[in-house]
Amino acid sequence: MALTPTQQAAVNYDRNLILFAGPGSGKTSTSVAKSQRILLKPDSRLAMVSFSRAAADEMRHRMLAAFAARQLPAPPNHRLVLGTFNSLSLAQYNRHVRSPAKLLGPPARSALLNSMLSSYSIDERSQFLLSLEQIGRASC
């Protein structure tokens, strides 16, 4: 697929880049072309972030196919990091935090919060949970 002039400009841009566009507009094709350009430099490294696992998997699949089509070896894992915001954040957390603490999933987190707030009235508990939810949304 040939890139549009705007997509080619994004591929050629030599700084950090965020691509925002609607579905089917060529974000993945542009990202793959840009990543190839970057990773063809022997000492380069690249991190690519998507919103969903499906998008990250599609990006990885297309990238490997593009390298194979040009008969190039796939970039080694230490040069290419690709995933969702959550998976990359968790990987970073696990890499740098040496405690055995674990992150809780929603059901376990809910059970723990309900246990901690059990001595409060329903109204007070609801207010605490609403405040925690707002803090969580603000930090995203």
How far apart CA 131 and CA 135 sit, in angstroms, is: 6
- For residue 50, give the H/E element and its range: strand 46-50
Residues 132-137, mean pLDDT to the nearest whole number: 73
Residues 6-14, mean pLDDT to the nearest whole number: 93
Q: Are 1 and 32 in contact (CB under 8 A)?
A: no
Residues 6+ apart with CB under 8 A from 48: 31, 35, 56, 59, 80, 81, 82, 83
Residues 117-138, mean pLDDT to the nearest whole number: 81
Question: Residue 100: what pLDDT?
Answer: 63
User: For 46-94, what is each residue's pLDDT tens digit?
Assistant: 988 888 888 889 989 999 999 999 998 888 888 988 999 888 888 888 8
Q: Answer whether residue 104 shows pLDDT above 80.
A: no
